Amino acid sequence: MESIITNIDVLADRGSIPPCYRELRKLLENLSWSVFDDLLFINAEYATIYDDSSVPAHIPPRPFLSANQQWYDWVRGRQTPSFETQRSQLRDRIYDHSTRSRLSYDDRYGITKGTITEVLKTNLSYPLYIALAGLKVETTESVESFVTPVNPTHLKPGVRRTIQNVVRSLKEGRRLGQLDEEFIDTLTDELLDIEANYLVPPFPSNNHVIGYLDSLWHHELPSRLDDFYGEYSFFIHSYPSSWQIYPHSSILEFKILAHEIDRFSHATSTLIEQYLTTYHRN
């Protein structure tokens, strides 16, 4: 990302203001993917460290660290499960369990579907993400050259531990009861009741990744990240009609750029601070 920052300095010095926004957009993409990958991995690690189960842990590889065009093209050519739809169904199952078992979801604790959604966002891990939105394949031969497919049975410990952490968070750290444990086992089995030998990790869009972080820290961020991403999209194209590589820029454009960089820096710095506070407390 240092090279992107250097590019912005060079472009601004040359008076080429519009491409600076293109570089800011790239910076936001790289930062968001890095944070998203890290929180999925950390939550998987957390579930392993704090679980007392004797089942061996299996944390999937971190595919978002090696995103590539082949993987993108392969996923885009297929119908992919909607992560939001799958997560909503998972939320509803947890909410139904809360009303049946009185998992401390009475009025004193204010547990709602919205609360469950927020806890799911914070605790989302690679195993659960792949289980919810992975693409089914029978063999690895067609994809193993650009991404590592995962055997669904290998996801089971991580999925179970993630759901266990969600329920424990909703109970505010209190001990899980027998009904809770039985529900967690049942829900894990349902999520992994997949008629396929392997799951290919989904390739989320930039808008999905940035929007996820926006929703995770919507109270803390001073500006929405996807607003920057959308507004700067107007500057990602060249000037074919004028054939100007470095179009003329006015003083006003320089002043606006300085203001935008200040807003952008404040928002991304807050994102990093919130990420470190939430996931690197120790």
Q: Who's near 181: CB < 8 A, 6+ residues apart?
A: none
Residue with more model confidence, 118 or 54:
118
Taking 50 as the threshold, does the pLDDT of residue 163 lie above it?
yes
d(C-alpha 46, C-alpha 199), whole Å: 23
pLDDT for 50 equals 43
pTM reported for the whole predicted model:
0.85
pLDDT for 79 equals 82
Taking 90 as the threshold, does the pLDDT of residue 180 lie above it?
no
Taking 60 as the threshold, does the pLDDT of residue 24 lie above it?
yes
pLDDT for 221 equals 93
Q: Percent of the chain scored above 90 by pLDDT? A: 47
**DSSP-assigned states of every residue in 148-172:** --B-HHHHHHHHHHHHHHHHHHHTT
pLDDT for 280 equals 74
Q: Is 150 in contact with 201 (CB distance < 8 Å)?
A: yes
First to last CA, the chain: 26
pLDDT tens-place string over residues 197-234: 899 999 999 999 999 999 999 999 999 999 999 988 87
pLDDT tens-place string over residues 234-277: 766 554 444 444 445 566 788 888 999 999 999 999 999 999 98
Q: Who's near 60: CB < 8 A, 6+ residues apart?
A: 44, 126, 127, 130, 148, 150, 154, 155, 158, 201
Residue 48's Cβ-side half-sphere holds a number of Cα atoms within 13 Å equal to: 17
**Phi, psi (deg, nearest 5) at residue 238:** -85, -170
Residue with more model confidence, 153 or 266:
266
Q: Is 127 in contact with 63 (CB distance < 8 Å)?
A: no
Please give the C-alpha separations between residue 108 and each of 98, 143, 179, in angstroms, as whole numbers.
14, 50, 21
Strands 135-137 and 198-200: antiparallel
pLDDT for 249 equals 55
Q: Is 202 in contact with 150 (CB distance < 8 Å)?
A: no
pLDDT tens-place string over residues 73-110: 999 888 888 899 999 999 999 988 877 765 544 444 55
> What is the arithmetic mean of pLDDT over 32-44?
92
pLDDT for 60 equals 66
The rounded mean pLDDT for the chain is 84
Q: Is 159 in contact with 222 (CB distance < 8 Å)?
A: no
